[in-house]
Amino acid sequence: MPEIANYVLQGAMKITPLTVKKLLHELPMLKLEFTQIHAPKFPHLVDQLTFLADVVEDFAEGEADELPYRAAAEAAFALLYAHKRADLIPDFIPDFGRADDSVVVRSVLITHEKHFRAYAEKHHMNWDKITNEA
């Protein structure tokens, strides 16, 4: 997964505070869009995307200042990646269309596990359920 982590880092380096600000306004629509994902092979993807959306929202609103900017930027990149219509594996491909989205999201969650676990605990979220460890 080092190649994916590097890909995510490279994408996150393009996330500016203005990008996060614009994304903040799109989050309600994205959260709704993510609830419509049908990906039985990746059953935790919707919960993981929702979690990252909450992280970005709180960070942008100054309610998660304890998170490193890199963690928030990578979370924002993962959300934007999952929203893209044209990505590495087209979403419409049965069974595997969301594999790339899932790998990007998991990479972000794993890279920043310490910070996201603390965020989840602070907000009374079940980290193990979000990460598929429950």
- The residue with tokens 């709180």 is 58
Q: Per-residue DSSP letters for 47-64?
A: HHHHHHHHHHHHHHTTS-
pTM exceeds 0.85: yes
- DSSP, collapsed to helix, strand or coil, labels residue 95 as coil
Under a CB-based contact definition with an 8 Å cutoff, are residues 110 and 91 in contact? no
pLDDT 10s digits, 14-37: 999 999 999 999 999 999 999 999
Under a CB-based contact definition with an 8 Å cutoff, are residues 112 and 64 in contact? no
**Which pair of structure tokens corresponds to residue 34?**
């993510």
